Amino acid sequence: MDAISYERAIDVAGAVRAAQQPGAVYIGGGTNLLDLMKGGVARPLRLIDITHIDGLDSVSALPDGGLRIGALVRNSDAANHARVREQYPLLSQALLAGASAQLRNMATVGGNLLQRTRCGYFYDTAFSHCNKRAPGSGCAALDGHNRMHAILGASPQCIAVNPSDMSVALAALDALVRVSGPGGERTIAFGEFHRLPGERPDVDTTLQPGELITAVDLPPPLFSAHSHYLKVRDRASYAFALVSVAAALQMDGERVQSARIALGGVAHKPWRANAAEQMLAGQPLTDATLKNAAAAALSGAQPRRENGFKVQLAQRAIVRAVKLAAGQSGGVA
């Protein structure tokens, strides 16, 4: 077993300084990191415990009417916070759809953003071909078991998907990720936080070395009256999404003023369905409009041998989620 040192940080600046040591990683709830360590996928040399840093475990109002959720807020606390439930129900629904209650009680908002893929080839070190774990080794999923894998935004280097439910909702809500690092503080638009695999599938996010997530900022609530998170999975609990949809609408009677739609389970990052959003804006919410928008969202899909079903499943899920967000029957025409 590798020797691992441990350090408890008492403030953000101290945590960032400690993380400059070789092999250092931050640990909060540890629900994903410890799994990776037990499987031999992650081999940190130094754990920087950030759970005692004041202020990172709070939820607070922003001057513009938005909401700041600290990186150490537990998933269960975020999901059940009164303002989140009332003003950002999409986020609450997504959080409650993820994992078990026990895991939600430990997992943090910051850690949720950094979940590694649940690709079996990535987690099982007996498989040597995994570009995400060992860059340049190949991707066993390309011609292997790929039922759960990406149909959008993948590359010949990696077809894994992002597993986070929370992140799909945050993508639809246009959240911001606040980070602090050796270069100071900065804010990352949520759509720019996670990366597509490209030639570097081992790099999941646009975080710079040593940067620490300190909070997630939500804009003023515009979609509290009309939103829905739909998760389609193989079993009702403790399963990752085959496809998920975060749908948020501003409505004017039967007409859509604006729409936000993000997909999970289909790409290496939460996938914003921009074409579908544009097609819905200003239109009455008819079956024909919905079908056309859903088709546009999946127009660039490139399924593999086992996951072609995801294309139609995602289209039907978009239609259902948008209808439910609008307060209509969720039946798919």
Convert the pLDDT of each residue in 253-293 to its tens digit: 999 999 999 999 999 999 999 999 999 999 999 999 999 99
Asked whether residue 83 is assigned to any structural domain, the reply reads no
Asked whether residue 280 is assigned to any structural domain, the reply reads yes
Give the residue ranges of the chain where pLDDT is below 70.
Answer: 1, 330-333
Q: How many Cα atoms occupy the beta-carbon half-sphere of 333 within 13 Å? A: 14
**What pLDDT is recorded for position 331?**
62
**What pLDDT is recorded for position 324?**
97
Sequence-ordered list of residues with C-beta below 8 angstroms from that of 259, at least 6 positions apart, any chain: 247, 248, 249, 250, 276, 277, 280, 281, 322
Contact 294, 263 (CB under 8 A): no
Domain that holds residue 267: 227-326
CATH number for 280: 3.30.390.50
**What pLDDT is recorded for position 294?**
98
Asked whether residue 97 is assigned to any structural domain, the reply reads no
Torsion over CA of 176, 180, 185 and 191, rounded to 10 degrees? -30
Asked whether residue 14 is assigned to any structural domain, the reply reads no
Distance from C-alpha of 286 to C-alpha of 230, rounded to nearest angstrom: 19
Asked whether residue 256 is assigned to any structural domain, the reply reads yes
**What pLDDT is recorded for position 6?**
96
Identity of residue 151 = I
**pLDDT tens digits, residue range 230-250?**
999 999 888 999 999 999 999
pTM listed for this prediction: 0.97
Contact 119, 125 (CB under 8 A): no
**What pLDDT is recorded for position 333?**
42
Structure tokens at 100: 């078990």
Count the neighbouring beta carbons within 10 Å of the beta carbon of residue 191: 16
Count the neighbouring beta carbons within 10 Å of the beta carbon of residue 55: 13
The total number of structural domains in the chain stands at: 1
